[in-house]
Chains A and B, each alone.
Chain A
Amino acid sequence: MSQIETFYDVMRRQGITRRSFMKYCSLTAAALGLGPSFVPKIAHAMETKPRTPVIWVHGLECTCCSESFIRSAHPLAKDVVLSMISLDYDDTLMAAAGHAAEAAFEDTIAKYKGNYILAVEGNPPLNEDGMFCITGGKPFVEKLRHAAKDAKAIISWGACASYGCVQAAAPNPTQATPVHKVITDKPIIKVPGCPPIAEVMTGVITYMLTFDRMPELDRQGRPAMFYSQRIHDKCYRRPHFDAGQFVEQWDDDAARKGYCLYKMGCKGPTTYNACSTVRWNEGVSFPIQSGHGCIGCSEDGFWDQNGFYERVTGIKQFGIEATADQIGFATTAVVGGAVAVHAAASALKRAQKKNEEA
């Protein structure tokens, strides 16, 4: 077997200039929240280390993760990452079809045994021996197990692979099952969201390709760099929450003024994701900015929480500085009334901060 080429070799072959390569390294460092001193380290790693092959497979899903991924705002990262992935195997975007595609899949597994990253979009349905999702004449769960056996690590893209997502909604007709419940002997990183934000996807995969290890994970297995803050904490409508200014109806004056959507069922207070900072479609907006509450699509079980328009309660239970690790996934319920407590807590926190600064 010939030596596997480096990332830099791949990029050069794709026609990427040295200047663009260095730019890619600094953008990567910035995206991952690393300082400028990391830029040469990233460059060195990319120049010397053999590239990490990626196999990207699709189970029960809707391809929204791929759709999100290819629209990353960071075109260079997307091009580079995409070109590296496409060298190996991807169900949706690759050129080969039919038997040639299946052959490419087996070749990649054999050639990079123990060295490749398996990226999984969607999940396997286990009912009826997996017959609800058949690819290449075999249940997807078999393909998944087969590909996972020799993988170095697994990325669970999106809510489907991470948690089951909507096809696992009650009564879960096909017994759609998240990846980590089928594959239990490999390191798995969950990148939830329906879909995940494009820049989060490129950020995670770039980190893993560059440093050849998983980024720091929270207790639920999500990369802490993107899932450590609540939507609510960085929401541009937060001042209206603190001031008690709420939208009560879709078409009221408060809606037009952009008041807080908490009473319309916004799950921002219980959802850990980067929507309110990174935003969507190249940083243009995110659901709350378009006037609809967050549905908490990066949290486990978001699809079965008693209605997407019921307001969340129990915000006070989180404490003021709780993190995703401390509370895990908080269930939402239909009670209402905790908002005042939380607003008061926020005011208190502001006052404390002022004192500290003084």
Chain B
Amino acid sequence: MSDTPRLVVGPFNRVEGDLEVQLDLADGKVVSAQVNAPLYRGFERMLEGRAPSDALTLTPRICGICSISQSAAAARALAAATGVMPTPQGAAMAALIHAVENASDHLFHFNLFFMPDFTRPCYAGRGWYERAVDRFAAINGAAGRAAIAARTDLMHILGLMAGKWPHTLALQPGGVTRAPGPRDKLRIETALRQFRKYLERDVFGGALEDFCALDSPAALMGWTGGDVGLFLEIAADTDLAAMGRGAGRYLSFGAYELAEGHGFAPGLWRAGRRGPVDQAAIIEDPSHAWMLGGAAHPFKGQTTPDETMRETAYTWCKAPRLGGEPVEVGALARQIVDGHPLAVALAGGGVLARVAGRLLELARTQILMEHWAREIDTEAVFMRTAALPETASGAGLVEAARGALGHWVRIEGGKIASYQIIAPTTWNFSPRDAQGVPGPLETALVGAPVAEGEDTPVAVQHIVRSFDPCMVCTVH
């Protein structure tokens, strides 16, 4: 029995941006949760009245971790408004640039944000504890240091192709500004070879293809190599599979849209089946956000802060819904929707499923990147230009590391008339909607154990981080 009926957990560290979670407790368990995104900047307001191309510079600066995802969504939205898609090789290079960022994010999440929680003193005495501290202690863990070094090397590709990271300018509606030459191609392939070596030695302790061939949770739990093996040992011991289970509804806009199709397919997973995404059925509901206006599709939506911060609301984040329902997004969602057998078997799962989905995607993304690098045609056209129309609208739907990201732009008189963004964590950390239905994290937290006297409950930390939240994107 806990004598604290209510607990506010936050600020969270090792989370991008600011986050607070309010928990109602009974009998040592969470019975209800409210997620508060306490940071608002107003990007959508700033974009109104500007030249549409300004979105390419301003929106990436929503986030220093997933800036390329924001670039990609802005470029796609403008491309859709213009009616001109990137050249095939331009799209492939944009995909490569984007994949490098996504792979980097997955790597960082695992090593620097998620795993360090297992070095908390509350786990001292477990058989794996000393090894976990050795590998994952914050700042000093060997795995974290190696991950920083490996990511820095991988990001040479972004240096080459995107000029700088964070906040590249190279992604444009018609392709990429940089046409890679034979020397660039060689350097990209070399960087990828080194990254594979690191992944297979440190992270997976085995061939990536072998990990991608796992097709059931039982097969997954039998994997013993590398830090992934250590994670699975910890997961089995602490029952991460049961912790923070999802509702089984997953959305993916489809990652890496190329001339020949998506790298990871788009779709909505619901009731154990994959169906198409009805874009018109997306709404944002501000009923529990300090925002004014009614529920609306992002083409019609607005972002007007409620300066009174009314009592009935509790966050700056609007509640996005697809067909009236909350959906979970992220690497696990993408892999389920893409139909990977291991991910499909993990559908509806909790902390273990989300982290395993991310690791699976890390391995599969490396294989995709190698493919695109091999196929670079240095003679091809990497960019086409087209004038933006005076009046148009377009949606840019992409997959950031953390899940489905959409930009919806309306252009009138050659200027941006409205710009609405729904980021991955907006979906996952959504507040309640007008019907009182909680968002995915709020649902996943129900039932999490809170031990007597725990003011930062470790189960809550695991569940929150299993979503890999990006709070600066959430509200923007």
B is a partner of A: yes
Q: Which of A64, A65, A134 contacts B38 (CB 8 A)?
A: A134
Flag whether A249 is at the interface (Cβ < 8 A): yes
Q: B160 to chain A: which residues have CB within 8 Å?
A: 284-285, 290
Query: In the assembly, what is the distance between CA of A86 and CA of B160, in Å?
Result: 31
Known: A67-B65, A173-B41. A97 touches B14 (CB 8 A): yes
Flag whether A60 is at the interface (Cβ < 8 A): yes
Flag whether B451 is at the interface (Cβ < 8 A): no
Complex interface residues of chain B between 167 and 224 (CB less than 8 A to chain A): 167-170, 172, 174-179
Flag whether B302 is at the interface (Cβ < 8 A): no
Complex interface residues of chain B between 41 and 59 (CB less than 8 A to chain A): 41-43, 45-46, 51, 53-54, 56-58
Query: In the assembly, what is the distance between CA of A255 and CA of B177, in Å?
Result: 8
Are B11 and A136 in contact (CB-based, < 8 A)? yes
Query: In the assembly, what is the distance between CA of A248 and CA of B260, in Å?
Result: 31
Among A61, A67, A82, A307, find the residue whose CB has the most chain B CB atoms closer than 10 A. Answer: A67
Q: A98 to chain B: which residues have CB within 8 Å?
A: 9-13, 455-456
Flag whether A96 is at the interface (Cβ < 8 A): yes
Are B149 and A290 in contact (CB-based, < 8 A)? no
Q: B155 to chain A: which residues have CB within 8 Å?
A: 71, 281
> Which residue of A has the minimal Cβ distance to B304?
A173
Known: A98-B9, A135-B11, A290-B178. A92 touches B170 (CB 8 A): no
Q: Which of B13, B42, B139 contacts A91 (CB 8 A)?
A: B13
Are A295 and B169 in contact (CB-based, < 8 A)? yes
Q: A290 to chain B: which residues have CB within 8 Å?
A: 160-164, 168-170, 177-178
Q: A167 to chain B: which residues have CB within 8 Å?
A: 41-43, 46
Interface string of A273-292 (1 = CB under 8 A from B): 00100011110111111111
Known: A195-B166, A284-B159, A287-B169. A101 touches B13 (CB 8 A): yes
Query: In the assembly, what is the distance between CA of A83 and CA of B166, in Å?
Result: 23
Whole-angstrom distance between the Cβ of B292 and the nearest chain A Cβ: 13
Whole-angstrom distance between the Cβ of B365 and the nearest chain A Cβ: 19
Are B163 and A289 in contact (CB-based, < 8 A)? yes
Known: A68-B166, A167-B41, A251-B174. A307 touches B51 (CB 8 A): yes
Q: Which of A63, A251, A292 contacts B163 (CB 8 A)?
A: A292
Are B169 and A194 in contact (CB-based, < 8 A)? no
Are A92 and B174 in contact (CB-based, < 8 A)? no
Q: Which of A62, A95, A133, A280 contacts B138 (CB 8 A)?
A: A95
Whole-angstrom distance between the Cβ of A202 and the nearest chain B Cβ: 13
Flag whether B281 is at the interface (Cβ < 8 A): no
> Which residue of B has the minimal Cβ distance to A165?
B61
Are B307 and A135 in contact (CB-based, < 8 A)? no
Flag whether A308 is at the interface (Cβ < 8 A): yes
Are B16 and A96 in contact (CB-based, < 8 A)? no
Known: A64-B64, A71-B148, A95-B116. A307 touches B156 (CB 8 A): no
Flag whether A270 is at the interface (Cβ < 8 A): no
Whole-angstrom distance between the Cβ of B407 and the nearest chain A Cβ: 15
Q: A275 to chain B: which residues have CB within 8 Å?
A: 164
> Which residue of A has the minimal Cβ distance to B36?
A134
Complex interface residues of chain B between 212 and 245 (CB less than 8 A to chain A): none
Q: B321 to chain A: which residues have CB within 8 Å?
A: none
Among A83, A92, A165, A309, find the residue whose CB has the most chain B CB atoms closer than 10 A. Answer: A92
Flag whether A321 is at the interface (Cβ < 8 A): no
Are A251 and B383 in contact (CB-based, < 8 A)? yes
Query: In the assembly, what is the distance between CA of A83 and CA of B167, in Å?
Result: 26
Q: B16 to chain A: which residues have CB within 8 Å?
A: 63, 92
Flag whether B472 is at the interface (Cβ < 8 A): yes
Are B137 and A95 in contact (CB-based, < 8 A)? yes
Whole-angstrom distance between the Cβ of B147 and the nearest chain A Cβ: 11
Flag whether A176 is at the interface (Cβ < 8 A): yes
Q: B275 to chain A: which residues have CB within 8 Å?
A: none
Are A63 and B17 in contact (CB-based, < 8 A)? yes
Are A250 and B18 in contact (CB-based, < 8 A)? no
Known: A134-B18, A290-B178. A281 touches B54 (CB 8 A): no
Q: Which of B156, B383, B385, B456 contacts A281 (CB 8 A)?
A: B156
**Among A30-38, A124-132, A346-354, which stretch is in contact with chain B?**
A124-132
Query: In the assembly, what is the distance between CA of A102 and CA of B461, in Å?
Result: 17
Are B18 and A135 in contact (CB-based, < 8 A)? yes
Query: In the assembly, what is the distance between CA of A185 and CA of B172, in Å?
Result: 44
Flag whether A70 is at the interface (Cβ < 8 A): yes
Flag whether A271 is at the interface (Cβ < 8 A): no
Query: In the assembly, what is the distance between CA of A125 and CA of B385, in Å?
Result: 38
Q: Which of B11, B56, B159, B456 contacts A285 (CB 8 A)?
A: B159
Flag whether B2 is at the interface (Cβ < 8 A): no
Whole-angstrom distance between the Cβ of B466 and the nearest chain A Cβ: 15
Query: In the assembly, what is the distance between CA of A99 and CA of B17, in Å?
Result: 17
Known: A67-B64, A98-B455, A281-B159. A128 touches B164 (CB 8 A): no
Are B38 and A251 in contact (CB-based, < 8 A)? no
Are B156 and A66 in contact (CB-based, < 8 A)? no
Q: B168 to chain A: which residues have CB within 8 Å?
A: 287, 290
Flag whether A43 is at the interface (Cβ < 8 A): no
Interface string of B139-166 (1 = CB under 8 A from A): 1100001001101100110111111111
Query: In the assembly, what is the distance between CA of A149 and CA of B177, in Å?
Result: 46
Flag whether A170 is at the interface (Cβ < 8 A): yes
Are B163 and A60 in contact (CB-based, < 8 A)? no
Query: In the assembly, what is the distance between CA of A85 and CA of B440, in Å?
Result: 36
Query: In the assembly, what is the distance between CA of A232 and CA of B305, in Å?
Result: 41
Q: B9 to chain A: which residues have CB within 8 Å?
A: 98
Known: A98-B455, A171-B46. A282 touches B152 (CB 8 A): yes
Query: In the assembly, what is the distance between CA of A353 and CA of B11, in Å?
Result: 59
Flag whether B39 is at the interface (Cβ < 8 A): yes
Flag whether B128 is at the interface (Cβ < 8 A): no
Q: B152 to chain A: which residues have CB within 8 Å?
A: 71, 281-282
Whole-angstrom distance between the Cβ of A134 and the nearest chain B Cβ: 4
Among A65, A66, A95, A289, find the residue whose CB has the most chain B CB atoms closer than 10 A. Answer: A95
Can you pick out 17 interface pairs between chain A and chain B where the beta carbons lie within 8 Å of each other?
A: A62-B62, A63-B472, A64-B65, A97-B13, A98-B11, A131-B309, A132-B39, A132-B40, A133-B39, A137-B8, A167-B43, A195-B166, A195-B167, A250-B177, A251-B385, A255-B179, A290-B177
Known: A60-B41, A83-B140. 6 other contacts (CB 8 A): A62-B61, A65-B64, A131-B309, A173-B42, A292-B178, A297-B167
Interface residues, chain B, CB within 8 Å of chain A? Answer: 8-14, 16-18, 20, 38-43, 45-46, 51, 53-54, 56-58, 61-65, 67, 112, 116, 119, 137-140, 145, 148-149, 151-152, 155-156, 158-170, 172, 174-179, 305, 307, 309, 316, 381-385, 455-456, 461, 472
**5 nearest A-B residue pairs (beta carbon):** A64-B64, A173-B42, A284-B159, A290-B163, A281-B159
